[in-house]
Amino acid sequence: MSRLLLNKRFALSGLLLLVLVLPLITSNAYMIRILILTFIWTIAVYGLNLLAGYTGYLSLAHAGFFALGAYTLAILTVTVGLSYWLAFILTLVFTSIVGALIGMIALRTREHFFAIYTLCVGYIIYLIIYNWEGMTGGVRGFIGIPSPGSIGPLEFNSQISNYYLVLFFLVLTIVVIYRIVHSLQGRTFMAIRNSEDLAKTIGISTTKNKLIAFILSTFFAGLAGALFASFTRFIGPEISNITMTFDFLVYLLIGGIGTLSGPVIGTFIIVWISQELQFLQDYRMLVFGPILVILIIFAPRGISGFIIDWNLKRKAKKQQIESMKDMENNQEVKEG
């Protein structure tokens, strides 16, 4: 047990070290760019995971909230002219508030009603962004979004500094999510996922806790969106499209829904495969669509869940063998 934990720590530190020094050992700007985008998407997927994976509510408006974060930042910095970090914080507050308002209503519905409701909310956000040209730039998109402003001596004009900034937020996200999941709050979410009725009868306010999960998920979507806007500096309505939500879902499902490492694993693997399969481009869903279906039937908790289950089984077997050995020993003692 402790050895496993140690191994895990070791592997994690190694991984972190690797991503930390990566920009220093490679000068491949394209690769760094892809990595930054991957980090951003991972943050968004963590938000989705908290709601869909840990609380059991499949939201199909996630890209909408991602876009909400991106456009809010764009509007606050460019149109309103606020300083970057003030706009950044306001963006997070704003997406959370919108999330709270929508969540309050959406969460009165359940299961497929919730999925359809959020699907429609996502679509409304898309249509608004698409049609409200004066504010969002419509189809042409929104250009000239500033890079993150400097904090004291830290400036974020170069790609590498952006890399570290986004990485910082990713690590922060993971730490926060880890702490939430491994706390009474996380157990509360999971109790709701497992059975809302049972959760209620053991005194859990499902209304309140579902709302917390929903707001958290929009918060992380908004955070990712804001980072995306200031990194790419140009955004278009397609980031709020349902296909974007589906992309997030694919990352989450393949990595492992309801697992802590799922979002990282899924996003990295899929983005990486997509890069390798460049020739597939628009047809990548030809591959990922069926994978999604097969996974949900045979390994519903994705790669990460598969590994966890496999480990559990191995452990159980080991225990069995050990207890058998114990019995044999006891017998020997008796016989001897």
Partner 1 sequence: MLLETVNLTKKFGGLTAVDDVSFSVEKGKINAIIGPNGAGKSTFFNLVSGYYPPTSGQVFFKGEEITRLPSNKIARLGIARTFQTTNLFERATVLDNIIVGNRLRTQSNLWDAILRTPRLKREEQKCLDKAYEVLDFVNLTNHAHSVVENLTQEEKKRVAFALALATEPELVFLDEPAAGVNPDETEGLAELMKKMVDHGITVCLIEHKMQMIMSIAENIMVLNFGKKIAEGTPEDIMNDEEVIKAYLGGERHAEVK
Partner 2 sequence: MDIFFQQLFNGLTIGSVYSLVALGLTLVYGILHIPNFAHGALYMMGGYITLTMMQTLGLYYWLAIFVSIVVVGLIGVLMERLVFHHLRHAPPIHDKIAAIGMLLFLEAFAHRVWGADYLEMATPHGQVVSVFGITFTLQRLIIIVAAVLVMFTLYLFLKKTYMGMTVIAMSQNRAGANLVGVNTNKVAMLTFFISGALAAIAASLSSPINLVFPGMGHLVILKAFVIIIIGGMGSIPGAIVGGYILGFTESLGATYISSDYKDIIAFILLVLILTIRPNGLFAKGGQS
| Binding partner selected for residue 56 from partner 2, partner 1, none, CB under the kind-specific 5 to 8 Å limit | partner 2
- Out of 206, 238, 306, 308, the only residue in the binding site for partner 1 (CB under 8 A) is 206
Residue 308: what residue type? I
Establish if 194 lies at the interface with partner 1 (CB under 8 A).
Answer: yes
Establish if 191 lies at the interface with partner 1 (CB under 8 A).
Answer: yes
Which two tokens mark 79? 């149109």
| Binding partner selected for residue 202 from partner 2, partner 1, none, CB under the kind-specific 5 to 8 Å limit | partner 1
Length of the chain: 336
Question: Are residues 62 and 47 in contact, defined by beta-carbon separation less than 8 angstroms?
Answer: yes
Shortest spacing between CB 176 and partner 1, in angstroms:
5
- Out of 45, 61, 119, 212, the only residue in the binding site for partner 1 (CB under 8 A) is 212
Residues 6+ apart with CB under 8 A from 250: 266, 270, 288, 292
Name which of residues 300 to 329 contact partner 1 (CB under 8 A): none
Helix (H, G, I), strand (E, B) or coil at 142: strand
Would you say 282 or 335 has its CB closer to partner 2? 282
Shortest spacing between CB 5 and partner 2, in angstroms:
30
Q: Can you list the pairs that 33-36 forms with residues at least 24 positions away whose Cβ atoms lie under 8 Å?
A: 33/159, 34/271, 34/275, 35/163, 36/159, 36/162, 36/163, 36/166, 36/231
- Out of 203, 278, 333, 336, the only residue in the binding site for partner 1 (CB under 8 A) is 203
- Out of 140, 179, 314, 318, the only residue in the binding site for partner 1 (CB under 8 A) is 179
Residues making contact with partner 2 (CB under 8 A): 52, 56, 58, 105-106, 108-113, 115-117, 119-121, 123-124, 127-128, 131, 242, 246, 249-250, 253, 282-286, 288-293, 296-297, 300
Residue 78: what residue type? V
d(CA 217, CA 166): 18
Task: Encode 145-161 in three state secondary structure.
Answer: CCCCCCECCECCCCHHH
Residues at the interface with partner 1 (CB under 8 A): 176, 179-180, 183-188, 190-191, 194-195, 197-206, 212, 216
